[in-house]
Amino acid sequence: MTEKATKAPSVFRNTAFLRLWTGTTASGLAMWALPFVLGLAVLERSITAVELGVVLAARTAGFVAAVPVAGVLADRHARRAVVFWSCLVAALVTPVIALGMGRSLLLMAVAAAVVGAGQGACRPAFQALVAEVVPESQRQQANAMTTLAIRVTTLVAPSLTALAALITNAQVLLAVTAALWLCAALVPPKGQGRPEQTQVRAGFVADFLDGIHEVRRHPWLLAGLGALTAMIAFGYSATAVLLPVVSRDRYDTEAVLAGATTAYTVGALIGAAVIGRWRPRNAGWVALTGLGLYGLIPLGLLLPVHPVVLIAVYVVAGIGIELFNVPWFTAIQREVDPGKLARVSSLDFLLSYGLAPLGLALIAPALDAFGAGAVLGVCAVICFATAAAAALVPSARGFTSREVTRSS
């Protein structure tokens, strides 16, 4: 079997996408920089470690609370307007966090929650805007370039923050993140279309439930969401907690921790670069195989492998996650009703990333009750099994229900 190679025009010639890509990258850099900036504030003794935990928890709560609301708003109104106001709010409120340092933990926490809400509100709108400004033939490349930017951001944000801290303080760096949010608010283009407004709106809850019904209308989407949620809630959460422990206790060095996390990001960059040009015939099966590869990480942490092998496993898993992400986002943009795209994207973010804190909260008692070996083994099985189960859904083969309909 051969793969189809589509020679679509380069997405870099699409000025609207380049503006959208710039705004998305700026928002991602601001989002990833905040925890490191606040960590530097702890080192400067501007805040305590406990205060850092409270502020980051408040930001996460704001993010999770805003995502479903933003999905409905972005389907009711122009997606560009939702991006503008959400990023503008984050830009205006970020300096308030600096104002509260050393003065008021409550002020910092409330401001962080509002910034988190801005982050959560812009995610579904950004995702839906891709479908408005990028032709279908260019979307896979566009999604690959977006995820490349996100991965580069996660790789360089800590280093850039640490270097900047040599010449300035945390308050100034927070002002820089506010400027990044302002860039994310102003740079993106207007969408080429508006969500459908032919139906009378029955209320927020009814609109949100309508998004759930849209997900259920696509069996491949429902199955993929289940596999992705299980991978993040169990696999990602367990390995995030246990990688530092294994690095310390088995290898007696922090180098394995640093090497593994860097390797995962490098693998993701490779995966995004590959899938940006590759058009596999059975895109859904390739994507779910890539998602299932994450199960290799808990296996690598469970078995007494050489550190080089463990780092290689992280590279493979990083490649796999982008072989999933890019076709996944592209399929959602192609298959979902355009008037419900933001709601479906919000459900995607809510179920996958919103449940991650719950997985992290369950890991500690599970470790105490069953031990690290049992937890890692179960997490590996869950990663493999859920991806395989999702692949058994007929429409999962190509992440489309159209071929199933034709076969019927």
The CATH number given to whatever domain includes residue 264 is 1.20.1250.20
Q: Is residue 236 part of a domain?
A: yes
Q: Is residue 144 part of a domain?
A: no
Which amino acid type is present at position 94?
A: T
- Could you tell me if 24 and 73 lie in one domain? yes
- Could you tell me if 256 and 301 lie in one domain? yes
- Could you tell me if 262 and 180 lie in one domain? no
CA gap 325, 290 in Å, rounded: 9
Residue by residue, DSSP assigns 63-101 as HHHHHHHHHHHHHHS-HHHHHHHHHHHHHHHHHHHHHHT
Rg from Cα positions in the chain: 21
Q: Is residue 143 part of a domain?
A: no
- Could you tell me if 171 and 269 lie in one domain? no
- Could you tell me if 316 and 277 lie in one domain? yes
- Could you tell me if 173 and 238 lie in one domain? no
Burial of 163 from C-beta contacts in 10 A (0-12 / 13-18 / 19+): exposed
Structure token pair of residue 356: 């991650």
Q: Is residue 273 part of a domain?
A: yes
Is residue 364's pLDDT more than 80? no
Structure token pair of residue 281: 């015939």
Structure token pair of residue 51: 């205060």
Which range is least confidently modeled, 4-8, 104-108, 137-141, 324-328?
A: 4-8
Q: Is residue 161 part of a domain?
A: no
Of the candidates 214, 183, 188, the one whose C-alpha atom is nearest the C-alpha of residue 345 is: 214
CA gap 97, 256 in Å, rounded: 34
- Could you tell me if 220 and 93 lie in one domain? no
- Could you tell me if 171 and 288 lie in one domain? no
The mean pLDDT value for 383-392 works out to 96
- Could you tell me if 253 and 345 lie in one domain? yes
Is residue 193's pLDDT more than 80? no
Calculate the CA dihedral of residues 252, 253, 259, 264 and round it to 10 degrees.
Answer: 40
Q: Is residue 142 part of a domain?
A: no
Q: Is residue 83 part of a domain?
A: yes
Q: What percentage of the chain has pLDDT greater than the value 70?
A: 93
Per DSSP, the three-state class of 4 is strand
Per DSSP, the three-state class of 336 is coil
Q: Is residue 110 part of a domain?
A: yes
pLDDT score for 2: 41
- Could you tell me if 230 and 126 lie in one domain? no
Indicate the pLDDT class of residue 196, thresholds 50, 70 and 90: low
Number of domains in the chain: 2
Which range has highest mean pLDDT (144-153, 189-198, 378-387)?
378-387
Helix H or strand E encompassing 346? helix 341-352
- Could you tell me if 126 and 267 lie in one domain? no
Which amino acid type is present at position 315?
A: V
The whole domain housing 94 covers 11-135+167-185
